[in-house]
Amino acid sequence: MAFLLPGLVDFGRTEKYNGNAAMTNLKEKLFRTRQTVKSRIDELLSSKKNREEILDELMETLILADIGVSTSERIIEHLRKNSRKTDSQEGVRSLLRQEIISILSQHPVSVALDQPQSVAMFVGINGGGKTTSLAKLARFFQSDGKQVMMVAADTFRAAAQEQLSIWGKRLNIPVVRGQYGADPAAVTYDALQSFQARQFDLLLIDTAGRVHTNANLMSELEKIQKIVSREIEQAPQEVFLVLDSSIGQNALIQAREFLKFSAITGIFLSKLDGTAKGGCALSIVDELRLPIKFIGTGEGDSDILPFSPQEFADALIS
Residue 162: predicted pLDDT: 92
Does residue 80 register a pLDDT over 50? yes
Yes or no: say if 297 and 26 are a contact pair by the CB < 8 Å rule: yes
- In tens, the pLDDT along 26-40 reads 888 888 888 888 888
Q: Where are the alpha helices (DSSP H) in 122-183?
A: 130-142, 158-171
Yes or no: say if 300 and 14 are a contact pair by the CB < 8 Å rule: no
Which of 90-99, 144-153, 252-261 comes out lowest in average pLDDT? 252-261
99: left (phi over 0), alpha (psi -120 to 50) or beta: alpha
Measured distance CA(265)–CA(236) in Å, rounded: 10
CATH numbers and ranges of domains, the chain: 118-307 (3.40.50.300)
Segment 194-218 shows an average pLDDT of 84
- In tens, the pLDDT along 156-205 reads 877 888 999 999 999 999 999 988 889 999 999 999 999 999 999 999 99
Q: How many CA atoms lie within 13 A of 278 on its CB side?
A: 29
Segment 279-294 shows an average pLDDT of 93
Predicted TM-score (pTM) of the model is 0.88
Measured distance CA(119)–CA(205) in Å, rounded: 8
Q: pLDDT band for position 16 (50/70/90)?
A: very low
Segment 123-147 shows an average pLDDT of 93
